Amino acid sequence: MEAAEVIEVAKITSKGQVTIPIAVRRKMHLNEGDKLMFLEQDGRVFVENAALIAIGRAQEAFAGEANRLGLSSEKEVVSMIREIRQERWERSRANNA
């Protein structure tokens, strides 16, 4: 296993809190209010941007769906989403009338 590169060091407060150094926040694309995910693998703990993990899992879950639906371009996917949103908006409006 390759040795890990030290980016920064942070201190844990008496309440178990850690301030994430700016260099780490930038590298991980973290902003105020973002959530972190702690992952364990082979006895090591990793910290990841939870939003990026969620996006990756959603992409995996939807892999192949465009092909299954006969959509061959991003433009077709966007068009289908717009149609679905329009239909839902119209149904919602009809139900509230």
Judged by DSSP in three states, 83 sits in helix
The most distant pair of C-alpha atoms in the chain lies apart, rounded to whole Å, by 64
pLDDT > 90? residue 86: yes
Give 14's pLDDT tier (boundaries 50, 70, 90): very high
pLDDT higher at 1 or 92: 92
pLDDT > 80? residue 1: no
Neighbour count for residue 27 (Cβ, 10 Å): 11
pLDDT in tens, 28-84: 989 999 999 999 999 999 999 998 888 888 878 887 887 888 888 878 888 888 999
- Of 25, 57, 60, 23, the C-alpha closest to 36 is 25
pTM over the 0.85 mark: no
18-24: which pairs have CB atoms within 8 A and are 24 or more residues apart? none
How many CA atoms, within 13 angstroms, populate the side-chain half-sphere of residue 19? 4
Predicted confidence at residue 72, as pLDDT, reads 82
Q: Using CA atoms, how far apart are residues 48 and 29, in angstroms rounded to an integer?
A: 10
Predicted confidence at residue 55, as pLDDT, reads 82
Predicted confidence at residue 33, as pLDDT, reads 93
Residue with tokens 């959530």: 35
